[in-house]
Amino acid sequence: MITPSYIGRFAPSPSGSLHFGSLIAALGSYLRAHSLKGQWLVRIEDIDPPREVPGASDNILRTLDAYGLHWHGSVLYQHQRHQVYQDQIDTLIESDAGYYCQCTRKIIQTSGGVYDGRCGRLTPRLTQGAIRIRNQVKMDHFVDQLQGHVMVDKAFADEDFIIKRSDGLFAYQLAVVLDDAYQGITEVVRGCDLLEASCRQISLFTQLNFPSPDWLHLPLVCTQKGFKLSKQNHASAIDIVHPQASINAALTFLGQQTVDIDAVDVMLKQAVAQFDLSTIPAQKEIIISTRND
- Per-residue pLDDT at 233: 63
- Per-residue pLDDT at 228: 78
Q: 237: annotated binding-site residue?
A: no
Q: 57: annotated binding-site residue?
A: no
C-alpha distances (whole Å) from 127 to each of 25, 100, 106, 116 are 40, 6, 21, 19
Q: Does residue 31 contact residue 275 with C-beta atoms inside 8 Å?
A: yes
Q: 115: annotated binding-site residue?
A: yes
Q: How many CB atoms lie within 10 A of CB 51?
A: 15
User: What is the separation, in whole angstroms, between the first and last Cα of the chain?
Assistant: 36
Q: 199: annotated binding-site residue?
A: no
| Prior bond of 49 cis (ω within 30°) | no
- Per-residue pLDDT at 293: 41
Q: 85: annotated binding-site residue?
A: no
Q: How many CB atoms lie within 10 A of CB 263?
A: 12
At 155-183, the pLDDT tens digits run: 999 999 999 999 999 999 999 999 999 99
User: Is the CA virtual torsion 10, 256, 283, 51 positive or negative?
Assistant: negative
Dist CA 260 CA 221 (whole Å): 23
Q: Does residue 184 contact residue 2 with C-beta atoms inside 8 Å?
A: yes
Identify the CA nearest to 7 among candidates 52, 51, 73, 85.
Answer: 73
- Per-residue pLDDT at 231: 61
Q: 12: annotated binding-site residue?
A: yes
Q: 192: annotated binding-site residue?
A: no
Dist CA 30 CA 25 (whole Å): 8
Q: Which domains does the chain have, with CATH numbers?
A: 7-80+176-287 (3.40.50.620), 82-141+152-164 (3.40.50.620)
Q: 111: annotated binding-site residue?
A: no
Burial class (CB in 10 A: 0-12, 13-18, 19+), 132: buried
Helix, strand, coil percentages for the chain (3-state, nearest 5) = 40, 20, 45
Q: 101: annotated binding-site residue?
A: yes
Residue 2 has pLDDT above 70, yes or no: no
The three-state secondary structure class of 187 is: strand
- Per-residue pLDDT at 1: 43
At 83-128, the pLDDT tens digits run: 999 999 999 999 999 999 999 999 999 988 899 999 999 999 999 9
Dist CA 99 CA 95 (whole Å): 10
Q: 119: annotated binding-site residue?
A: yes
At 207-235, the pLDDT tens digits run: 999 999 999 999 999 988 877 777 666 68
Q: 62: annotated binding-site residue?
A: no
Q: 9: annotated binding-site residue?
A: yes
Q: Amino acid letter at 177?
A: V
Percent of the chain with pLDDT over 70: 96
For the chain, give the mean pLDDT: 94
